[in-house]
Structure 1
Amino acid sequence: MLKTSIGLAAAAALGNPVAAQTTDAPGDDRRTRGLEALRAVGGGDFSQTLDPLSPDLSRILVEDAYGDVMARPGLSQKTRELVSVAAITVLGTARPALRFHIGGMLETGWSPREIVETLLHSVVYGGFPFAQDAILLAREVFAERGVTVGTGTGRPEGDDWTLGVQQLLKTGGDDAGAFALRVIEGSGPSPDLDRLTIEFAHGEIWNRPGLSLKDRELATLAMVIAIGNLDSTVRFHVEACLRTGWTRAEITELLIQMTVYIGWPKALTAVEPTLAVFAEVERSGGFAAPSSAGEAIATQRAQAETDDVRFNRGVEAMSQISRASGEAVVNAFRDIAPELGRYILEFSYGDVFSRPGLDLKSRELAAVAALAARGTMADETPLKVHVEGALNTGATREEVTEAILHMLPYAGFSRVQSAIALASEVFSER
């Protein structure tokens, strides 16, 4: 009762009339409702799996998570599965749940291509390791179900700078135009970061044709809340959801659903920035269309380099770091996400690893430290790849070990111990 009351209070504060009118139901009704919601996504009673540990755990999962939250009327089951997959993907720690909800997306009417696009979209918000791991998991789910994705290209046609600015104007209005102007003027703390945000994140990924802009925006809001982004990022994407057609009630439902997948503390941190956007929209009476000045920025320059130039530079960088060839990286995902391999080479290695500010050895040690600190299941293989890369670019075993040990104050002993164990496997194979 208390948990349901807390959820209703949050819903009422956010101005969700559907949520605020919900009342507590007897346990049997909640269980029935929960089982119906589970069956809709291809699931069932979890008692056989969870009862050996605790019958209460399966009851809470069915009645609370599904009966009280996932069965709520404010979002369709189909949309809820999109939200679940988006959030779980960027956590990188819940493969069984992600596998289940990829199946749930299929059960509720999403096409295999739309599912892959949702996972690929996460490269912007969770990074390549999480997206790669999720796409490989989707490949397994599709194979088990006899589902094919198709290999048609999903790359948008046109100049990445122009496409990126135009997309940002749709979701961010003239504030996005001001952001793009910073790149042209060379102002801001990192013009190159801003340029890559426009050209790769928004020009390339956001413009892919396999998922609607509206659905991408809701998935993005789930992702940025799940990874605990700054209030300003949450605010931007709450506003963008409203701009692309989602209602206050639907956004509120997303926040309530997030309590199931990321926990109450993280979900509740998104309440304040969400309320701030709702209040601002009420005061202003809506959103102004992008001005002609904002639209003109989209044509004031072109993307910095062609994709082929970036790709070739990435192949060269990878040849100095890894035993894998560029062709092998491209082919690794050709059957399910044909562009993912090229993105790894063009962006990760061509745009980032090839920058002149650090040598390759330093970049590999930085990658090792970052992956060790994050320490999820999805990071295990990339960590071993970059330990190998650090050694290939001149780092000693002692330097690799120190890079990982340096994470002790920031990531804790458990993650560092796991990373040391993975690095030791690489050392023993050389």
Structure 2
Amino acid sequence: MTMNNARSSRPRTALSALLAISLGLGMAPGIAAQNTEESPAMPRTQPALTKLSAKQQAIPLIAAFMATSDMPRLNTALEQGLDAGLTISDAREILVQLYAYVGFPRSLNALNELMTVVEARKQRGLQDAPGREPSRTIATGDALLAAGTANQTRISGGPVKGPVFDFAPVINQFLQAHLFGDIFERDNLDWQSRELATVGALAATPGVEPQLRSHMSASLRVGLSAEQLHHLCAVLAERGDEQSARRASTALAQALALSGEKS
């Protein structure tokens, strides 16, 4: 619940992007920024940030260890994320969202681990900020479908069409109403954080390289800089897994090549 230059000159790449979107795991070209106060796209006239904050660094690690069901390292990453300023709501939302990418069983197991971490921290006298719930009521029915379709169109740079959706139109209904509706309408986690989580989870998952590349492009479009994404790859290499870091670095290089940005 996924590349304007590529669309015209690289049909093979365009098809990969389309397949990624069809699975809810990829983003197409021309994404507009998320229209929230918390995570606006970074204007190109402003100097790009070169490093992820300590809180941001924790997100892809949490996601990667959740995706691989590495509970001891997930426990450590959750501890470090809470120490760095993630609220309980932030951490919980990351783990909830990722069910769309790595499945309900891993999400449920990770949520249980978060509960364990929070309770253990309470026993040590640590009081983590609870964070907040979404600030608005999520729509239902036709209103939810309309909101989700608008989010999908914004993220994809235009209405999503293609052979996959002609073959299985219901998948796009699920994407629009649930992934881009129920999940992306929740404003208690900004889109930069959501992309950092998705990139971390996909980097740790062999065989989803097209989706990973699409989400690297999406990360750039929601305001993360190339330098920050290089930093993400370095964090995965230093504190995560070498193969995950390699997949992330390759995907980033491909995304930058497609966007025309310097690597």
Does residue 1:157 correspond to 2:138, yes or no?
A: yes
Does residue 1:133 correspond to 2:136, yes or no?
A: no
Q: Which residue of 2 aligns with 1:265?
A: 243
Could you say if the C-alpha distance between residues 99 and 266 of structure 1 is closer, same or farther in structure 2, counting changes exceeding 3 Å? closer
Q: Which residue of 1 aligns with 2:171?
A: 193
- What runs of 5+ residues in structure 2 fail to find an aligned partner? 1-49
Does residue 1:235 correspond to 2:213, yes or no?
A: yes
Percent identity, aligned pairs only, is: 21
Aligned match for 1:206, one of 184, 195, 211 = 184
Aligned CA RMSD, in angstroms, stands at 2.7
Q: Which residue of 2 aligns with 1:117?
A: 93
Q: Which has the higher contact order (CA 8 A, sep 6+)?
A: 2
- TM-score of the two chains, using structure 2 as the length reference: 0.69
Could you say if the C-alpha distance between residues 225 and 89 of structure 1 is closer, same or farther in structure 2, counting changes exceeding 3 Å? same
- TM-score of the two chains, using structure 1 as the length reference: 0.43
How far apart in 1 are the matches of 2:211 and 2:137?
25
Does residue 1:143 correspond to 2:119, yes or no?
A: yes
Matching of residues 199-348 of structure 1 within 5 Å? 199-260=177-238, 263-282=241-260
Note if contact 1:125-1:223 (Cα within 8 Å) is conserved in structure 2: yes
How far apart in 1 are the matches of 2:213 and 2:223?
16
How far apart in 1 are the matches of 2:104 and 2:238?
25
Give deviations 1:193-252, integer Å, cap 9, x for gaps.
232222222211222222111211121111111113533212211111111100001111
Count of aligned positions: 205
How far apart in 1 are the matches of 2:87 and 2:111?
14
Give deviations 1:304-359, integer Å, cap 9, x for gaps.
xxxxxxxxxxxxxxxxxxxxxxxxxxxxxxxxxxxxxxxxxxxxxxxxxxxxxxxx
Aligned to 1:131, the other structure's residue is in SS state helix
Note if contact 1:258-1:267 (Cα within 8 Å) is conserved in structure 2: yes
When Rg is computed on C-alpha atoms for both structures, the one with the higher figure is: 1
Q: Which residue of 1 aligns with 2:20?
A: none
Does residue 1:89 correspond to 2:66, yes or no?
A: yes
Could you say if the C-alpha distance between residues 201 and 156 of structure 1 is closer, same or farther in structure 2, counting changes exceeding 3 Å? farther
> How far off its partner does 1:156 sit?
5.0
> How far off its partner does 1:262 sit?
5.2
Note if contact 1:170-1:243 (Cα within 8 Å) is conserved in structure 2: no
Which amino acid is the alignment partner of residue 77 of structure 1?
Answer: A
Give deviations 1:49-74, integer Å, cap 9, x for gaps.
xxxxxxxxxxxxxxxxxxxxxxxx83
Give deviations 1:393-422, integer Å, cap 9, x for gaps.
xxxxxxxxxxxxxxxxxxxxxxxxxxxxxx
Note if contact 1:235-1:274 (Cα within 8 Å) is conserved in structure 2: yes
Could you say if the C-alpha distance between residues 275 and 156 of structure 1 is closer, same or farther in structure 2, counting changes exceeding 3 Å? farther
How far apart in 2 are the matches of 1:104 and 1:145?
12
> How far off its partner does 1:167 sit?
2.2
How far apart in 2 are the matches of 1:224 and 1:81?
15
How far apart in 2 are the matches of 1:153 and 1:277?
31
How far apart in 2 are the matches of 1:228 and 1:80?
21
> How far off its partner does 1:265 sit?
2.9
Could you say if the C-alpha distance between residues 256 and 173 of structure 1 is closer, same or farther in structure 2, counting changes exceeding 3 Å? same
- What runs of 5+ residues in structure 1 fail to find an aligned partner? 1-72, 286-430
How far apart in 2 are the matches of 1:152 and 1:257?
29
The structure whose residues are more often helix, as a share, is 1
Aligned match for 2:153, one of 169, 179, 201 = 169
